[in-house]
Amino acid sequence: MDVITGPDGRSRCAWVGEDPEYRRYHDQEWGVALHGDRALFEKMSLEGFQAGLSWITILRKRPRFREAFAGFDPLRVAAFGQTDVERLMADAGIVRNRSKIEATIANAALVADMADGELDRLIWSFAPSDSAGLGVHPASMEDVPAVTPESTALSKELRRRGFRFVGPTTVYALMQSAGMVDDHLAGCWRAE
């Protein structure tokens, strides 16, 4: 079963399940075009923290992540030092993975060094054309890729620039959540 009907009578992608927070995320955020360096830095960071975990874990911890990482303001996060790393490692409200924490701080420094709007332009320059991304809805979860040529190319460019925790699968999840591709399944109300 790839599409389920929620308590409100709407059909949704089945990965939402019964969780109200997941349903809200699916209905209001996932697949909606997201712009802005800060917003995309946050999304990139959270997708990096999600690697190896379920997205609902990250979604439930997102408010604490925002507090712990200064609202994902790249300038503020870039200024974090070893004391901040230790503070974050002790914070049970986030994912306590030293490599991911240090990567987020290093990535913030890279974003802070970019011109205003450059991260947004860079990421969106890898959005697929309509025929390859938007407007064509997968029939089932089996039809949703984990990696695409665009996510591979964007991952390669981000890594060339020094970004970490931005592999092709993580980048494709970013592309989905930021609305660069629309993987709402055929039959989901968001695909209409």
HSE of 159, CA atoms in CB hemisphere, 13 A: 12
pLDDT in the model for residue 179: 94
Tell whether 100 is in a known binding site: no
| pLDDT of 133 above 90 | no
Helix (H) or strand (E) holding 12: strand 11-13
What is the architecture, at CATH level 2, of domain 3-178?
Orthogonal Bundle (1.10)
Q: Which whole number is the average pLDDT over 111-140?
A: 86
Tell whether 35 is in a known binding site: no
Q: Where are the domains of the chain?
A: 3-178
State the Cα angle at 64 between 29 and 34, rounded to 5°. 25
Tens of pLDDT, residue by residue over 152-186, are 999 999 999 999 999 999 999 999 999 999 999 99
Tell whether 188 is in a known binding site: yes
Question: What is the set of active-site residues?
Answer: 25, 47, 55
Tens of pLDDT, residue by residue over 67-104, are 999 999 999 999 999 999 999 999 999 999 999 999 99
pLDDT in the model for residue 106: 98
